Amino acid sequence: MKKLLFISILSIAFFISYEIQSALAQNVTLGIPNPSSITFNDADPDLQPLLSSTPNSVSLDIKISGNPGSPWKLTHLAAGDLSPSIPISNISWTVTPQPPFVNGSMNKTVAQTAAQGVGNVNQTGTFTFRITNLWTYNTGNFSVVTTFTLSAP
């Protein structure tokens, strides 16, 4: 009986080890956003109620291998608002190609999905960012750091 128990536990251990070894073959690579920063320049809110960033587009490489049949996701999360008068949620993006990339808006509390899929992936997304331009924005120069996270599964 003891031998049977021992063999069972050992089998489970080897099985788990095999699964881990399979998982270890996964490779998740997230390229550096190009460019790594954007700027929204000042403009008359009446003439330009929606501002595009400078530069106008940002490319991002996502690569996942060794992930057959398992889901993956790219998310985006901001560290905070641009300023007390400029909510980060006023910034939205459109992105190609769709799928796997998806449009969205920035958020400082909940990571937003920017791309998702199943299995392996090797794609470059091109993001275009825009901000609602309001008279309520107070003057100043503002900056916020955000994070893209690519994960599998």
Dihedral angle computed from the Cα positions of residues 70, 34, 111 and 22, in that order, rounded to the nearest 10 degrees: 20
Which phi and psi angles does 110 have, rounded to 5°?
-125, 125
String of contacts with other proteins for each residue 13-52, x by CB under 8 A: x--xx--x--xx-x-xxxxxx--xxxxxxx-xxx------
10, 2 Cβ separation under 8 angstroms: no
Tokens of 64: 């996942």
Tokens of 27: 């490779």
Q: Does 118 bind other proteins (CB under 8 A)?
A: no
Cβ nearer to other proteins, comparing 23 with 97: 23
Residue 14: in which H helix or E strand, if any? helix 2-24
Q: Which amino acid is at 121?
A: V
String of contacts with other proteins for each residue 92-111, x by CB under 8 A: --------------x-----
Q: How many binding residues for other proteins (CB under 8 A)? A: 63
Closest CA to 81 of 9, 137, 121: 137
User: Among residues 48, 59, 85, 96, which is the contact residue for other proteins, using CB under 8 A?
Assistant: 85
Q: Which residues bind other proteins (CB under 8 A)?
A: 5-6, 9-10, 12-13, 16-17, 20, 23-24, 26, 28-33, 36-42, 44-46, 53, 58, 60, 67, 76, 78, 82-86, 88, 91, 106, 129, 131, 135-153
